[in-house]
Amino acid sequence: MREVAARPEEGIRILRIESQEEADPWRASFAGAYQSIWMEPPYNERFYPEEAEAVLRHSLDVRDNVTLLAVRDSGLVVGFAISYPLVAKADVAREVRGLLPTEDTFYFAELGVLDRWRKHGLGHQLVDLRLELVDRSRFHYVLLRTSAVRNTSYEMYRRLGFDDTGVYMEVPSRKVEGGTRTDRRLFLSKVV
């Protein structure tokens, strides 16, 4: 684990987590942040703590992952950014076959910031850090999936140079209000 950036004015450090052991002190707080972020609009998704922890565990098991946690000294995870080679996300790779070369594409799988810390540039910083950490000798494209609803996330990605691919994917999820529904997600890409 190493600190890759800091936001001292907010008491936040951004850590790159590279092993399961390094993640141990942050697992419960990550799960809480993950649940809180995705239960809000536009996603309104329900995750159980063990499902949220599994996201972190999976990312760290993928070779060449970039897993960043924005943390406070209190032990609170206030944001996260997870990415890895697209070949590790088979369902997404199938959806974009023919759009981008799978072997040359890095997938930005997760980005979340707790509501209290939004609109201060933390999400933007997490995206920038991941872009810096992409191995450009191996990966020439970055792909991500966001809500098809044109919201602040979509606008942030567009300002950061991501292109709207016009390709969508239906994603089933358990909803906060009960039941399972599908949401439409849009793919954005960037040449790196």
Instruction: Give the per-residue pLDDT at 128.
Output: 97
How many angstroms separate the CA atoms of 14 and 125, rounded?
10
Largest Cα–Cα separation, the chain: 46
Nearest Cα neighbor of 81 from 156, 171, 170 is: 156
Identify whether the C-beta of residue 107 lies closer than 8 Å to the C-beta of residue 95.
Answer: no
User: How many domains does the chain fold into?
Assistant: 1
Q: Which domain holds residue 180?
A: 2-191
CATH number at residue 134: 3.40.630.30
**CA-based nearest residue to 108, from 153, 45, 43, 77:** 153
Instruction: Tell me what pLDDT residue 91 has.
Output: 96
Instruction: Encode pLDDT of 68-95 as tens digits.
Output: 999 998 999 999 999 999 999 999 999 9
How do residues 20-70 score in pLDDT, each as one tens digit? 999 999 999 999 999 999 999 999 999 999 999 999 999 999 999 999 999
- Give the pair of three-digit tokens for residue 143: 């792909």
